[in-house]
């Protein structure tokens, strides 16, 4: 066998071997941006978001936010083409001297319902008493027929990313998505209430060091995991912590805690506790926690300190995962 042929064969074998090693010889395939999309009528559909990013105009300029970095969007007021102008014209007609014009305006505004509501809020402050009185009456009629959560009173969109929230206006009029039942779609922002991105939520494996996050009451560990109320949070923990390392092995605690209350007295010494958000209320995790918190924010973990005013040693290995709450569970 000649040298050129030998080297070609060797290169082929090396490439093939590399393809078998995770992360080598090929690029990682990006995960799909799976999402739960809630429409203004209350229906909820699981979809895949096809576009890679969103452009958002904020008071500080335009931002381009990758979809994979987004966890939730609360959509502000987005109107279909021409609707805003039609509502404005109808608002003006509320002050018309002609009964026919006023009656027609009322019918149009009632038809638009929640889309017209923020316009009517402004009209209710109109110095013309005829306009303000009719606008207030229409607001009452709309609220009697429309659930409060469907009343669009904010114009800006609220985007919660992994790192921080963003308030502004999404530049796009539609979002590209794919549904297993309906195929590829262009979702009109005017039809959407909220969107939860789910595809990039993977299990997180963490180590909580007692010397850093369990030797004083304020030593919380920022996991970087974002929790929201629509997901079920599951945490599994194992390991041991020495609450009195001066006499090694005498006062060992598991994630459930030792038999003595820790510093502060709310939980047992050595127990693993958590909270959602920096100002969230602490809750016991122990060896296993499963629940759907009603709070939204980053997950923080903490090992309850020893009651004897000394530093603890050891660590807990923690696995954090999240899964969908049943679609019918949140309205």
Give the total number of structural domains in the chain: 3
Query: Are 57 and 189 found together in one domain?
Result: yes
Q: What's the CA gap between 108 and 141, in Å, rounded?
A: 13
Classify residue 115: in a domain, yes or no. Answer: yes
Query: Are 138 and 269 found together in one domain?
Result: no
Give the pLDDT of residue 21: 43
Give the pLDDT of residue 154: 82
The tokens describing 4, both together, are 């050129």
Give the pLDDT of residue 71: 83
Query: Are 222 and 299 found together in one domain?
Result: yes
Classify residue 8: in a domain, yes or no. Answer: no
Strands 70-74, 183-188: pairing is unpaired
- For 40, the domain range is 33-76+154-197
- Distance from chain centroid for Cα 135: 35
Q: What's the CA gap between 36 and 78, in Å, rounded?
A: 19
Give the pLDDT of residue 57: 96
Query: Which residues in the chain come in under a pLDDT of 50?
Result: 1-29, 199, 326-331
Q: What is the CATH number of the domain that holds 260?
A: 2.60.120.430
Give the pLDDT of residue 41: 80
Query: Are 230 and 166 found together in one domain?
Result: no
CA–CA–CA angle 266, 271, 277 (5° rounding): 70
Q: What's the CA gap between 243 and 301, in Å, rounded?
A: 17
Give the pLDDT of residue 230: 67
Residue 8, CA distances (Å) to 5, 26, 137, 181, 201 in order = 5, 19, 82, 48, 42
Tell me the Cα Rg of the chain.
28
């Amino acid at each position: 066998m000649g040298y050129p042929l030998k080297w070609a064969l060797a290169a082929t074998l090396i490439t093939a071997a590399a393809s078998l090693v995770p992360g080598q010889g090929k690029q990682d395939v990006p995960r799909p941006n799976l999402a739960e999309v809630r429409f203004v009528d209350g229906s909820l559909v699981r979809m895949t978001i096809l576009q890679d990013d969103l452009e958002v105009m904020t008071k500080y300029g335009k931002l381009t936010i990758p979809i994979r970095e987004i966890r939730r969007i609360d959509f502000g007021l987005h109107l279909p083409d021409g609707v805003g102008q039609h509502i404005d014209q109808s608002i003006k007609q509320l002050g018309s001297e002609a009964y026919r014009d006023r009656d027609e305006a009322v019918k149009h505004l009632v038809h638009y319902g929640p889309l017209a509501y923020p316009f009517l809020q402004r009209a209710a402050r109109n110095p013309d008493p005829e306009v303000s009185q009719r606008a207030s009456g229409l607001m009452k009629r709309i609220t009697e027929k429309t659930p409060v959560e469907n009343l669009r009173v904010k114009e800006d969109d609220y985007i919660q990313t992994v790192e921080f929230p963003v308030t502004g206006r999404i530049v796009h009029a539609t979002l590209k998505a794919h549904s297993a039942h309906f195929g590829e779609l262009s979702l009109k922002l005017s039809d959407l209430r909220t969107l939860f991105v789910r595809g990039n939520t993977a299990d997180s494996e963490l180590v909580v060091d007692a010397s850093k996050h369990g030797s004083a009451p304020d030593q919380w560990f920022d996991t970087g995991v974002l929790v929201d109320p629509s997901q079920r949070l599951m945490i599994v923990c194992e390991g041991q912590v020495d609450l009195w390392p001066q006499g090694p092995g005498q006062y060992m605690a598991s994630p459930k805690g030792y038999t003595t209350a820790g510093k502060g007295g709310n939980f047992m010494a050595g127990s693993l506790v958590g909270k959602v958000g920096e100002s969230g209320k602490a809750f016991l995790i122990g060896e296993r926690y499963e629940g759907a918190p009603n709070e939204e924010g980053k997950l923080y973990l903490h090992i309850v300190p020893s009651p004897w005013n000394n530093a603890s040693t050891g660590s807990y290995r923690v696995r954090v995962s999240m899964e969908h709450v049943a679609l019918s569970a949140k309205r």
